[in-house]
Amino acid sequence: MTQPTTIAIDGTAAAGKSTVAAQLSQTLGYLYLDTGVMYRAVTWAVLARNIAVTNEEAVSELAETLSIEVTTTGPQDGRFYTVLVDGEDVTWAIRAKDVEAQVSRVSGYARVRTTLTNQQRHLAAKGSIIMVGRDIGTVVLPQAELKIFMEASAEERARRRHKELIEQGQAANYETILAAIQGRDKQDRENPVSPLIPAKDAIVINTDGLSITEVLTKIYELIDTQP
C-alpha cells in the first residue's frame, strides 16, 4: 500500500476539519494547511483597513498585495498554527464575529480565490501535505490522492462552537451561533465561484455523535486501504 502524499479535507464550517487535520498531520509528519484561515486573514485585513467588503475591486487588490504566512510555531495558547498578515499575529483576531460574518463574501470574489489558490497549489507541489478547506478536492487539488468531505448538522456544529467559546472565556449565545452557521452554510452552498460540494470521488464522513478519535480512526482506515 502507498500512503497518499496529498490529502484534501473539505466540509462545512465547524465540522471538525481543522482539529482532525492537525492531529492527522502530526501522526503522519505532514504539513498542515487550513486554507480557510487565509481567507479569514484577507477578511480581517479588509475590515482593519476600513475597506467595504462589497467593494470587490478594492478587496481583490488588497488580497494580491498581502503577505499571509501560516506557521506551526507561536505561543502555546491552544492554537494549532500561527497566522501572520504582513508580519502581524492575527491568529485569534481572524476568529472574531465580524470576520466570521464577512468571510464568505470575501472568499467568493474570483480574484481573491485565484490569488490564494495559486499560493496553496505552490505549497502542495512539495507533497506530504494535508490541506483543509471547502474546495480543495474540487478546485485547488483535484488530483489529491485522498479526498475527504466532513459534514455535521448545524445544531451539532453550533454546540461545538458554543462550547469552544465558553472554554475560552468568551460570552456566547447558542441561538446566535446556530443562526450564523446556518447563514454561512447558505452562503457557502450558493457561492458562485466555488460552491461547497463534495468532490465526486470524495469520501463523505458525517461527524455527528463522533469524537475526534473516532473520526481519525475512520481516516486511518482509509489511508491503509489506499491503492
Angstrom distances, CA of residue 53 to CA of 11, 145, 150, 188, 205? 24, 36, 28, 16, 33
222: cell is 482509509
Contacts of 14 (CB under 8 A, 6+ apart): 152, 157, 158, 160, 161, 181
The CATH class for the domain spanning 6-216 reads alpha beta
* Sign of the CA dihedral with 217 first, then 219, 223, and 227 last: positive
- pLDDT at res. 226: 58
For residues 106 and 113, what is the distance between their CA atoms, to the nearest angstrom? 9
For residues 159 and 148, what is the distance between their CA atoms, to the nearest angstrom? 23
Domain boundaries, the chain: 6-216
The rounded average pLDDT for each run of 10 residues, N- to C-terminus, in the chain (227 residues) is 87 89 91 91 98 98 94 80 93 93 90 94 89 93 96 94 89 93 88 86 94 94 75
Bridging pattern class, strands 82-85 and 88-89: antiparallel
For residues 57 and 117, what is the distance between their CA atoms, to the nearest angstrom? 18
- pLDDT at res. 31: 86
Q: What is the CA radius of gyration of the chain?
A: 17
